[in-house]
Amino acid sequence: MKALLILFATAIIVLFAGLSHKRQRMLPLALGGVLVALGVTLSDLLMGDSTGWNDMYSSMFLFDNYALAFGAVALLTTALIFGLSGWGFRQLSETLGDNYGLLLFSICGALVMFSFTNVIMLFLGIEILSIPLYVLAGSRRDDLASNEAALKYFLMGSFATGILLFGITLVYGCCGTFDLQGIASAVQSGRATGPMFHAGVLLIVAGLSFKVSAVPFHFWAPDVYTGSPNMVTAFMATVVKTAAFAAFYRLFSTAFVDLSAVWGVAIAGIAALTMTLANTTALFQQDFKRMMAYSSISHAGYLLLAILVAGKTGAANAILLYTLAYSIATVCAFAVYMTVAEQNGDGSFSAFNGLSKKDPLLAAVMAISILSLAGIPPTVGFFGKYFLFTAAFEAYPWLIVLAVINSAISIYYYFKVIIAMYFTSDENAYTVTVPAAFRWVMLAGVLLIGLLTVSPDSILGLIR
């Protein structure tokens, strides 16, 4: 709760500070707010909350360990992304304050999605998260692709929210409550049953599948990822994905945990489709950002494995470790991509040719991130996959075999970058200069990947 208030206040201050056009003050203000919120969240998570602020608004929020741990992941990722924004937002002048403000509002929505104990709060969280992003996706106003991205994102997003809301309505009609525990007890007592209730649950699955960009509800993702400004794409691929999955899991591990007979087959099918289709499509991409879009869809497929065993010991921690590893690696990969692509005007794989000779450290950061995304041991990405797969192994062995095969397929496209950087000779005339802030973000990211590799244990005990 405290983090939410801090962020909301920071967002409003940044928005008004934007009017004064003092651009060098904007970043310290926004980043400072995020870091303070991160510090407060971590201290609540590790030392416990003594103020009683974490349970407010008639218990429609509950900032339990689950909410705090995911909040810390999202805030850490946002801090890393803000670290890139000094250079990433260099072309913005008038709208700089708006951009920071919207990003901060969006993360407020993410925090709500981690902590809801009421379905209405979930809905509000999703809206608070999404509406600023519709604007941000189109923030390059004179760029046609950016406009297209905003329109697609908005249309698809509101469509998905409509479906979600319809599902919530049906569920409410059967249970008479929006409260997660209330729904769970209605299910247990057998009050909530019948086709209408099941249709409601499946509509909620569909709505959330839109949000996590799972196949067949993924069509918006590649275009929106490609068209949006790089900073916004990095945010969507990491924080938004984490938020959507944390909310998905929170809902299904409390309200619908005893209903897996209804949604199990549906989600298993969606997971299988998502992994397979995303990985095979990613093979054919020539553009790095578009590849990352499909890669993020495929990661959604793996993460759905944990939803399938919602409520099982270790499943929540597996999602936490996975999203953390995935977010850090994705931010690092985007940092390298932005340095190369924005200076060179070319976002295809060939832009990376010979990078290991031009800047060995930059190439090393990308290589480590890619290895972690591909889940190759001993990187933390491997441990993320390992704990997801182990959690779902006994219930869905066939799905795990499929996931393993998909992990192998993903090597083909992930390694295109490594092949370009290390094994392809350099025919690009351009030079790469890495902004100082980027170096710090990359250093922090690689150190975090290293630390988590040595001790995944430190994350796995956080949610009890």
Partner 1 sequence: MSLYLILIPFISSLFLLLARPAASRSIALAASLANLAITLFALAGFNGDGSFNHEFSVPWVSGAGIHFRLGMDGISMLMVLLSNLLAPLIILSSDGEKYRPEARYFGLLLMMLGALNGVFMALDGLLFYVFYELALIPIYFICAIWGGDNRIRVTMKFFIYTFVGSLFMLVALIYMYLQTPGTHSFLWEDLVNVQLSSSAAWWVAVAFFLAFAVKMPVFPFHTWQPDTYTTAPTGGTMLLAGIMLKMGTYGVIRWMVPLAPESLHDLAPIFIGLAVFGIVYASIIAIKQSDLKRLIAYSSIAHVGLIAAGIFAWNKLGVQGSLIQMLNHGINVVGLFYVVELLERRLGTRSLSEMGGIAKNAPLFATLFMVIMLGAVAVPLTNGFPGEFLLLNGVWNFNPWLGAIAGLTIIFGAVYMLRAYGLVMFGPANEATAQFEDLNTRELVVLGAVALMVVAFGFFPQWILNITDGSVNRILGAVQF
Residues within the interface to partner 1 (CB under 8 A): 314, 360, 364, 371, 376-378, 382-383, 386-387, 389-390, 393-394, 400-401, 404-405, 407-408, 411-412, 415, 419, 422-424, 455-457, 460-461
Q: CA-to-CA distance for 345 and 342, rounded, in angstroms?
A: 5
Which CB sits closer to partner 1, 189 or 425?
Answer: 425
- 193, 245, 240: which is closest to 221 by C-alpha? 240
Q: Are 252 and 310 in contact (CB under 8 A)?
A: yes
Give me the least distance between CB of 404 and partner 1, in Å please: 5
Q: CA-to-CA distance for 234 and 128, rounded, in angstroms?
A: 18
Which CB sits closer to partner 1, 5 or 460?
Answer: 460
Give me the least distance between CB of 418 and partner 1, in Å please: 8
**How buried is residue 384: exposed, middle or buried, by Cβ count under 10 Å (0-12/13-18/19+)?**
buried
Give me the least distance between CB of 460 and partner 1, in Å please: 6
Structure tokens at 294: 């499909």
- 118, 234, 62, 368: which is closest to 224 by C-alpha? 234
Which CB sits closer to partner 1, 394 or 426?
Answer: 394
Which CB sits closer to partner 1, 63 or 422?
Answer: 422
Give me the least distance between CB of 446 and partner 1, in Å please: 11
- Return the amino acid letter for 56: M
Which CB sits closer to partner 1, 114 or 382?
Answer: 382
Q: CA-to-CA distance for 289 and 306, rounded, in angstroms?
A: 26
Give me the least distance between CB of 422 and partner 1, in Å please: 6
Question: What is the number of other CB atoms lying within 10 angstroms of the CB of residue 397?
Answer: 10
Give me the least distance between CB of 419 and partner 1, in Å please: 6
Q: CA-to-CA distance for 299 and 256, rounded, in angstroms?
A: 23
Which CB sits closer to partner 1, 274 or 407?
Answer: 407
Which CB sits closer to partner 1, 12 or 419?
Answer: 419
Which CB sits closer to partner 1, 39 or 314?
Answer: 314
Structure tokens at 149: 């991205």
Q: Are 169 and 262 in contact (CB under 8 A)?
A: no
End-to-end Cα spacing for the chain? 20
Give me the least distance between CB of 457 and partner 1, in Å please: 5
Give me the least distance between CB of 313 and partner 1, in Å please: 9
Q: What is the dihedral of CA 78, 84, 90, 92, to 10 degrees?
A: -10
- 294, 297, 296, 314: which is closest to 306 by C-alpha? 314
Give me the least distance between CB of 394 and partner 1, in Å please: 6
Q: What is the 3-state secondary structure (H, E, C) of 352-379?
A: HCCHHHHCHHHHHHHHHHHHHHHCCCCC
Which CB sits closer to partner 1, 2 or 312?
Answer: 312
**How buried is residue 202: exposed, middle or buried, by Cβ count under 10 Å (0-12/13-18/19+)?**
middle
